[in-house]
Structure 1
Amino acid sequence: MARFLKKRDQQLGRTPGSPVFIGQQKIDRPRIRKIDYSASTLHDAFFPDMEGMTPPQAGEPCCWLNIDGLHDAGLMTTLGSLFNLPSLVLEDVVNTGQRPKFEAFSESVFVTLKMLFFDRDHTMIQSEQFSAILQDNCLLTFQEKPGDIFDPVRTRLQNAGGRLRNSGPDYLLYALLDCIFENYLKAVEVLGERIEAFDEEILEDPSSELLEEINIYRREVSYVRKAVYPAKEIVLRMVRTESELVSAATQPFVRDLADMVEQTMDAVDIYREMLSDHLSSYNMVMNNKLSETMKFLTMFATMFIPLSFLAGVYGMNFESMPELHFKHGYYVILGIMGGIAVAMLAYFKKKHWL
């Protein structure tokens, strides 16, 4: 399946707002996890379905409802009805090829972007769609599969005196985005460690395998760039939003995210330029090697031109050639040929051609 774009065959001709899953199904059935928290209480539980679940009311503990698995259209429709979600938002949630975006509505704030992971076994960046819907006293999050980078956030929720337990769901959304952006930077750092090592290897052993690896890293950096650049737009729009769902107390932390995204973007740009320089260096080294090889072959051929001439003249075997009957003629001609070869080598050395 294409990594930069997802096939949209199933969505063709559908009514806008239809929750049609686009992407690769990664689990058999969705997993629902609900965490209710406040300064004094914490309740964490898994549910087989949405039966009996209701949105939290004013004065009740905050709710973090996480859905792993986006392919169940019935579940998404139930969620939409229960939490009064716009149909176009649900359509974006189940589209794993959706471009990162931020939208503010009267009763909710919607964010969708990519989570990135570096797969060392296959030397490539893996991505997963993450979507979040912020409502009053509730945060809904959607992922493609179980297993994520949010365990530090869940651990912090165990601390009754921590900021997470004493803040609203908007601060929880910030904490999740912070984990995602930190992982962006981590993925770029892992790529950068290998990219920076290419310089020395290009000079020492510019093999075809190294060229292939450089091209692989160029592709992976481009893939990271596709996810990171729109993330900056999300942060800036979140900073400028006038939605009351994002409190003034959370805004300074959101602005801090912008600095992290800028740092990641700078690193991505630097490594893109370095990879372009590596390709130029590789081509230059290979051209130099080819020039050295051609120089050697040219000199080798040049040395044999006069020797071939002498051998041709000496081997014409005309009866009237007096040197044909010279007793030591064979050794003399070999000596002359050897002397010419040595003289030419000395001349090449003097001219710094060798």
Structure 2
Amino acid sequence: MTPKNYAKKLGLPPGTLIYTGKEKNHFEISILDYDENNFGEIQEIDVEASFSFKDSPTVSWINIIGLHNTEAIQKIGKYYGIHPLSLEDILNIHQRPKIDHFDTYNFIVLKMLTYNQESCEIESEQVSIIFGKNYVLTFQEKSGDVFDSLRSRIKAANGIIRKSGSEYLVYAIIDAIVDHYFLILEHLDENLEELESEVVSKPSLETVQKINQLKKNLITMRKSIWPLRELLAKLLRSEFVLESSVIYFRDVYDHTVQIIDIIESLRDISSGILDVYLSSVSNKTNEIMKTLTIIATIFIPLTFIVGIYGMNFAHMPELEWEFGYPFVLFLMAGMVITMIFYFKKKKWF
């Protein structure tokens, strides 16, 4: 699929900050700041107020919503030492999931997917992550995400997240996104089961549309999860990941492999359902043609008889016969009954 609004960037030098999306929500910065014994949450602060968390001894999760505010993004990037090319990739929402290493930070791009139950479509949003020693910056296009359970864990100090550093927070963010992929796959699997029943019982044009939408959703997921596997493999091979964090990133990697296997299985099943639909339609067409052929076959001899006696030649002996008309009707009825009996014996209907 060709990226939309990409024409805005044509001819501009590298590092030019141009937002390529359409969403223009309220710009908002929220912060979760914590360590093992302390926790603080700040909502909707201004850009300058977020600068003090860069060198904080605690772990700071700074979430920025509203990529259309390029001026604020530029200020944040300048203070945190983010390379202009990274800022450009943050604002270009059509990036492929990837990871880049820099001297003072690491840059990750992911696709956060959500399932719209009304339209049965998968909606994709780019999430960009910048993380350093004690801070994690996440950039989102619009409000609403899949991190509510993660925020609750941090507030309640469940697990080891409050005892761990920024690397573990990055793992938790990626894990939350990947876990949500499983929820989407559950919806797609339910749709698949419904289509399997529908394609056998009452296939229609709407069934084809549903199959095509399902295949489109699987392609969307495949485009998001395959690069993520490469991203995690590169992350595991890198030198900057602490040994204590490797096991967690490896666990997410295993989940991505599992998701890829499920996606491939669902793709095969959806292709099989489409074949079943085409076979069902073909069989239905054959049944209709068989019925029409039987009806036509029954009427061919009747038409032949009617055609002969419709000529009305002067010397046709049956024209003057008193029982000629009922005899012909009896003959035609007998032929119909005989042919129907013969077709049933051959199990043609």
TM tier relative to shorter chain: over 0.9
TM-score of the pair, normalised by structure 2 = 0.96
Structure-2 residue corresponding to 1:333: 328
Following superposition, the deviation at residue 173 of structure 1 comes to 0.5
Structure-2 residue corresponding to 1:286: 281
Structure-1 residue corresponding to 2:214: 217
The 5-angstrom pairing of residues 163-242 of structure 1 reads 163-242=160-239
Q: 1:290 to 1:59 in 2, by over 3 A?
A: closer
Secondary structure, in 3 states, of the residue corresponding to 2:333? helix
- The worse-fitting range, judged by mean Cα deviation, of 154-163 and 127-136 is 154-163
Following superposition, the deviation at residue 48 of structure 1 comes to 3.6
Structure-1 residue corresponding to 2:337: 342
What letter corresponds to residue 292 of structure 1 in structure 2? E
CA contact (8 A) 2:54 2:135 kept: no
Query: Once superposed, which parts of structure 1, at least 4 consecutive aligned residues long, lie more than 6 Å away?
Result: none
What letter corresponds to residue 172 of structure 1 in structure 2? L
- Where does structure 1 lack aligned partners over 5 or more consecutive residues? none
Following superposition, the deviation at residue 53 of structure 1 comes to 3.8
Out of 288, 300, 315, the residue aligned to residue 320 of structure 1 is 315
What letter corresponds to residue 127 of structure 1 in structure 2? S
- The worse-fitting range, judged by mean Cα deviation, of 80-89 and 311-320 is 311-320
What letter corresponds to residue 322 of structure 1 in structure 2? P
Q: 1:233 & 1:74 partners in 2: Cα distance?
A: 32
What letter corresponds to residue 64 of structure 1 in structure 2? W
What letter corresponds to residue 136 of structure 1 in structure 2? K
Q: 1:330 to 1:108 in 2, by over 3 A?
A: same
CA contact (8 A) 2:54 2:80 kept: no
1:135 has 2:132 as partner: yes
Following superposition, the deviation at residue 159 of structure 1 comes to 3.2
Q: 2:248 & 2:148 partners in 1: Cα distance?
A: 20
- The worse-fitting range, judged by mean Cα deviation, of 169-178 and 99-108 is 99-108
CA contact (8 A) 2:218 2:267 kept: yes
Q: 1:139 & 1:230 partners in 2: Cα distance?
A: 22
CA contact (8 A) 1:18 1:87 kept: yes
CA contact (8 A) 1:68 1:145 kept: yes
1:259 has 2:254 as partner: yes
CA contact (8 A) 1:221 1:272 kept: yes
Out of 5, 8, 27, the residue aligned to residue 6 of structure 2 is 8
CA contact (8 A) 2:30 2:45 kept: no
Structure-1 residue corresponding to 2:296: 301
What letter corresponds to residue 230 of structure 2 in structure 1? E
Q: 1:307 & 1:54 partners in 2: Cα distance?
A: 95
- The worse-fitting range, judged by mean Cα deviation, of 156-165 and 51-60 is 51-60
Secondary structure, in 3 states, of the residue corresponding to 2:43? strand
Secondary structure, in 3 states, of the residue corresponding to 1:317? coil
Figure out how many residues of one structure are paired with residues of the other and give that number: 349
Structure-1 residue corresponding to 2:120: 123
The 5-angstrom pairing of residues 11-30 of structure 1 reads 11-28=9-26, 30=27
Q: For residues 250-283 of structure 1, what are the alpha-carbon distances to aligned partners after superposition, in whole Å with 9 as ceiling and x for unaligned?
A: 1100000011111111111111111111111111
Out of 265, 270, 273, the residue aligned to residue 268 of structure 2 is 273
Percent identity reads 36
What letter corresponds to residue 166 of structure 1 in structure 2? K
Q: 1:55 & 1:138 partners in 2: Cα distance?
A: 11
Structure-1 residue corresponding to 2:306: 311
TM-score of the pair, normalised by structure 1 = 0.94
Following superposition, the deviation at residue 102 of structure 1 comes to 0.9
- Name the one with the larger helix percent: 2
Structure-1 residue corresponding to 2:152: 155
Q: 2:213 & 2:300 partners in 1: Cα distance?
A: 47
Q: For residues 163-188 of structure 1, what are the alpha-carbon distances to aligned partners after superposition, in whole Å with 9 as ceiling and x for unaligned?
A: 11110010000001000000111111
What letter corresponds to residue 286 of structure 1 in structure 2? V
